[in-house]
Amino acid sequence: MKIGVLGTGMVGTTIATALAAKGHAVKIGSRQAGKAEAKAWAAATGGQAGEGSFADAAAFGELLFNCTKGEASLAALQAAGAAKLAGKVLVDISNPLDFSKGMPPSLFVGNTDSLAERIQRAFPQAKVVKTLNTLNCFLMVQPGLLAGDHDIFICGDDAAAKQQVLGLLTGAFGWAPKQVLDLGPLSSARATEGLLALWIRLYGGLGHANFNFHINIGPAPKA
């Protein structure tokens, strides 16, 4: 599959590297094509991946990942172009973190809205699926780095789009189907984005990011 990854930071290159390693053709995008770090990354893949602008990556990909910083996501997607997003699955990994008052950050949207929903409203012809935003990027693509049971969440309004993303999560990144918890509609992103407040506190307390959440599900109680 041809996949466009918007964002050339640690999250974007980690996602893109894992996808390229599984044989997908990948193009990563940043504000301007020819960014030195992106060119070096693409060269290191041995021709399996390329780089360009946000618009280049969006035009290239049959499926897209938004790995930009939350505060810049809407602008990055606007630069990519609505026409290039139309009809495509857009996997949103961003989080609405507000660092304007220092650490720990707050969220610039929450409770009655989410960044994922704002993206969907801004680009109604895209099929936004929210996932992978509640853990460190290395665990995103190598869940086996963490011993024991742990989970990720997925939500979106298009069932077929979620199934396609599930296929990438299990096929390219190594998640077991039972580890992927479907929370239903895209409005559930309000909860997963809100979970970052706890994630950041845990990161501060533990001093590292090698952890994740697990939901221990028992049998339904008898009536």
Mean pLDDT, the chain cut into blocks of 10 residues (223 residues total): 95 95 94 85 82 96 97 97 98 94 87 97 98 97 95 98 98 97 98 96 95 93 84
* CATH of the structural domain 2-206, one choice from 3.30.450.90, 3.30.70.3420, 3.30.1380.10, 3.40.50.720: 3.40.50.720
Dig out the tokens for 108 from the structure: 């610039």
pLDDT at 125: 98
pLDDT at 20: 94
Angle between helices 73-80 and 115-122 (to 10 degrees): 20
Domain ranges for the chain: 2-206
- Output the CA–CA distances (angstroms, integers) from residue 181 to 93, 123, 215, in the order listed: 16, 25, 9
pLDDT at 210: 96
pLDDT at 57: 97
